[in-house]
Each structure stands twice: as structure tokens, then as C-alpha cells.
Amino acid sequence: MAQAARLSGFPEWLPADRIVEERVIDLLKHTFELNGFAALHTRAVEPIAALAKEGEIDKEVFAVSRLHEEPGDAKTPLGLHFDLTVPFARYVVENAGHLAFPFKRYQIQPVWRGERPQDGRYREFIQADIDIVAEDTLPDHFEVEVPLVMAQAFGELAELGVPPVRILANNRRLLEGFTRGLGLEDVTPVLRCIDKLDKIGPDRVGELLAAEAGADAAQQRLLLDLAAIESTTGEFAEAVTALGITDPLLDEGLESLTRLLDAANRQQPGIVVAQLKIARGLDYYTGSVYETQLVGHESIGSVASGGRYDALATTGKKTYPGVGMSIGVSRLMSRLVGRNRMVQASRSVPSAVLVAVSDESHRDDAAAVANLLRRRGIPVDVSPSASKFGKQIKYADRRGIPFVWFLDGETGHEVKDIRSGEQISADPELWAPPVEDLWPSVSKVTAAD
């Protein structure tokens, strides 16, 4: 017996909303594949040792163990992956001999984090990742390609009614170089403090910078000034230079971010914004870092994040630097189908047609017509009972199935559009629904809905 026991942080959608989610995922897959990314699927578990060392994420790991341990069981403690980057890096190292580099893959799977559930934040959620890894060295142009593919993907999603996005970019080398140029040696606490800016504001970040990174008042001010810089063109670089800090790593970072903004402005103007407070929580980023705001829904946080990592996938002897971004599909869904629904499916089932059954002895005939239509690519359901036709039409109506097929109308086979009431005679070898009715459509909720 199953019992109603909703678990906070483990979202599940109703069938019509799963159609929305499937459509989102299909569009993402299609965009990624058009851009040459190969599909990949990795196991859900990793050795805990591989998960619990990436910074603040440690305390969010879910451990997995046999309920009844057996003598033959592996001794490696396991946990559920909290992202798709760590498993991918492990996969690359394990399979390097069989992969062609640079290797571009996408991966759409659930991940698990023991976060406190809140608006748009779940304990189990679907991510859609793209990554490119190279052998030994990763050309910088991939740091441009990844956010532009994501911009393309969001462009496709806009057709479903997903709001526009702004991709915010920064560069860890810029932040690290600036920090060193300031005379602070330990960069990690500085990054963690800056990452909290939107949550706690500049005053408290200043205090934190003093407490955790040993920054004096001047250093705090300069870091906060840096973090306030933002531009949609290469202008940000002048603003940084005006702060008067110099460092070779800072120059590298400025150059890389400038290249990204220039290319983005040539290919998809305005969508990528340099925002120097973007730091990202995870320790493994070493170059570009990205976050993505859903315009008008900034409060749910980033819907697509990532960056460049140079040392995540390495055997010690060999290194596979990479760059990637990850869309939070479930977080996006929380807005698309949440309280203020933005997107809806036209029906809750795939079927375009319901074949009516006049009495149970003719169920085989109805099944035969359904199979004829299916063989021609039309999704069809057969009425579950030989009840009155009015009741069978209600069955279709309740699910949004637009057409009902009758085997014994006045002219023989007839099909009724239950929205208009129009009923015409039809040949199951020839008739097809209008293309917009063939599969459920997904579209923006309008005021009229």
C-alpha cells in the first residue's frame, strides 16, 4: 500500500506539467545536439571521497548504503552526486582512452543536495549540463562557446513562454589577480565572501572580508568597488583598471572576459553581461564563471551556472581542463508551472484521438482502427468502457483529447472534433488531425486562459 507522504524538496509534476518539462528537455537536447554535444549518462553514485571535498557543498551530500549490508559488498562509501560536473570529470579520466578530445557532451539527469528546501531550491532536481573538456590545454574560445550555446538554448525556450535571460559572466583569474594585487594571498575566503553579496549586502560582506580574509578597510572598499562593476560591453575593463590594482593574472582575466563580451556582442548582442561580483560557490573553477538570471525572476537565483575548471579531471600525470554550464531544469520549472503559472500544455495526455467503443464485443475492431492510426504516427487511445457515447466524449474532454472516432456513424467511420462539434466521415488509412493538434502543444499562459 502506497501512502500519501509528500517529501519537502522532492518535486513531482502532474502529467500536463511533465509534458512541459519534457518539452523543455527536448528543446535543450536538440540545441545541444545541433551544437555537436554528445549525449551522456553517468551513474547516480560516486565514492563519498570524490564528492566531499569541493567546498561548501560537503555538508549537502546524501550518503547511500545497503539497508542490509552483506559480506560481499564494496567497501567504498558511496553518495549521490550533487552535480553532473564531478561525475563527468571522473568519467573522462576513467574513459580517456576511448574518448576523442576535445570532448563535448551534454547530460540531463537528477542531482541531489541536502539543502533547506525553499522557492526554486530542491533536494532532488534535474540539471541539464554541457561541458567541453580537452587534453592538456583548453583553448579559450570554448569559454565563449559554452555561454553562447546556453543563450541559444534559452532562445529556443522563449518560444514556449520562458522569459528572456541575462547571462552574467566573470573570471576567477580576474578576481584572483585583483585579490593578489591588493596584497591578500588567500583567495578562497575572498571568493566566498563576494559570493554572498546578493544575500547579505556590501556592509556585511565588508565585515566578513575583514573577519575571514583579513582585509583592511582599503582592501574591503576596493573589493566592493570591483564587485560593483558591470557592463554589457568591454567597458568593465577600464573601470577595473581605474581602481589602480595591477597583477599579471588580473590582466589575463580581463583579457579573457573582454574576449567573451566581444564575441557575445557580435553573435548575440546584449545577452551576456560582465558582472564582477559573480564568484560561484564551488572551489573548482579557475577561469570564466557564469550565472544566469531569468529576467523578472531574479529572486530564484541563477537558472544556469558554470565556469572553467582546469584541475577537476586529472590523473596526476594527465590533465583534462574543461568548461561547462548547467541549467537548473527543476528550478526553471518551479517558475514555469508554479503558483503564477507561465507555461501550460494543451492537454494532459499524448493522444489526439479517442476511438469510441460501441460495445465490448467490438473492442477488437476499435483496437484495430487505433493501430491503423498509430501506424501512421497519430497518438490514439481507445475508450476504456463501452458506455454511452456522451460519457466517452466526456472521457476525451477531461483529458483535452480533441477528436473522438466512431466506427459506426451514419456514414460508417466518422470523427468528431469535440471542441467545435463538427463530425465528418473519415478513412483511418487517410485521415489525420491538423498538425497543431497531433501532439500536445506547450505555450505561454495568456490573460485569456
> Listing from the earlier edge strand, what are the strands of the sheet with 380-382?
380-382, 353-355, 403-409, 412-417, 423-425
Q: Return the residue of 318, 374, 391, 419 that touches a second copy, per CB under 8 A.
A: 374
Q: Return the residue of 266, 318, 391, 419 that touches a second copy, per CB under 8 A.
A: 266
Measured torsion, CA atoms of residues 361, 362, 365, 371, in degrees rounded to the nearest 10: -90
Whichever of 210 and 358 has its CB closer to a second copy, that residue is 358
Label the pairing between strands 38-39 and 103-112: parallel
- Please, are residues 279 and 199 in contact by the beta-carbon 8 Å criterion? no
The crossing angle, in degrees rounded to 10, of helices 248-267 and 141-158 is 40
H-assigned helices in 196-345 = 197-213, 217-227, 236-241, 248-267, 329-336
Q: Return the residue of 81, 90, 192, 416 that touches a second copy, per CB under 8 A.
A: 90
H-assigned helices in 214-321 = 217-227, 236-241, 248-267
Whichever of 112 and 431 has its CB closer to a second copy, that residue is 112
Does residue 438 belong to the site contacting a second copy (CB under 8 A)? Answer: no
Does residue 445 belong to the site contacting a second copy (CB under 8 A)? Answer: no
Site for a second copy in 110-129 (CB under 8 A): 110, 112, 114, 116, 124
- Please, are residues 345 and 440 in contact by the beta-carbon 8 Å criterion? yes
Does residue 432 belong to the site contacting a second copy (CB under 8 A)? Answer: no
Q: Output the smallest distance, CB 170 to a second copy, in A.
A: 23
Whichever of 290 and 439 has its CB closer to a second copy, that residue is 439
In DSSP terms, 290 is beta-bridged to 169, 306
Q: Return the residue of 3, 340, 361, 446 that touches a second copy, per CB under 8 A.
A: 3
Q: Return the residue of 55, 118, 139, 318 that touches a second copy, per CB under 8 A.
A: 139
Q: Return the residue of 231, 232, 265, 314 that touches a second copy, per CB under 8 A.
A: 314
Does residue 48 belong to the site contacting a second copy (CB under 8 A)? Answer: yes
**Long-range contacts for 4-7 (Cβ within 8 Å, ≥24 apart)?**
7/123
Q: Output the smallest distance, CB 35 to a second copy, in A.
A: 7
Cα–Cα distance, 168 to 156 (Å, whole number) = 19
Q: Return the residue of 233, 267, 346, 358 that touches a second copy, per CB under 8 A.
A: 267
Site for a second copy in 234-263 (CB under 8 A): 263
Q: Output the smallest distance, CB 333 to a second copy, in A.
A: 11
Does residue 22 belong to the site contacting a second copy (CB under 8 A)? Answer: yes
Region for 280 from its dihedrals, namely left if φ exceeds 0, alpha if ψ lies in -120 to 50, beta otherwise: left
Residue span binding a second copy (CB under 8 A) among the ranges 141-149, 157-165, 185-193, 216-224: 141-149
Region for 262 from its dihedrals, namely left if φ exceeds 0, alpha if ψ lies in -120 to 50, beta otherwise: alpha
| 336-366 CB burial, b ≥16 within 10 A, e <16 | bbeeeebbbbebbbbbbbbbbbbeeeebeeb
> What is the CB neighbour count within 10 angstroms for residue 448?
4
Does residue 311 belong to the site contacting a second copy (CB under 8 A)? Answer: yes
Site for a second copy in 171-200 (CB under 8 A): none
Q: Output the smallest distance, CB 367 to a second copy, in A.
A: 7
Q: Output the smallest distance, CB 5 to a second copy, in A.
A: 6
C-alpha distances in Å from residue 335, one per residue of 155, 272, 299: 17, 22, 11
Whichever of 214 and 234 has its CB closer to a second copy, that residue is 234
Look at residues 437, 444, 419, 436 and name the one whose alpha carbon lies nearest to residue 344. Answer: 444
Task: Determine the size of the site formed for a second copy (CB under 8 A).
Answer: 110
Residue span binding a second copy (CB under 8 A) among the ranges 181-189, 199-207, 219-227, 374-382: 374-382
Q: Return the residue of 56, 63, 203, 242 that touches a second copy, per CB under 8 A.
A: 63
Q: Return the residue of 121, 196, 341, 363 that touches a second copy, per CB under 8 A.
A: 363
Does residue 10 belong to the site contacting a second copy (CB under 8 A)? Answer: yes
Whichever of 90 and 192 has its CB closer to a second copy, that residue is 90
Place of cell 472534433: 417
Does residue 61 belong to the site contacting a second copy (CB under 8 A)? Answer: yes
Cα–Cα distance, 327 to 304 (Å, whole number) = 4
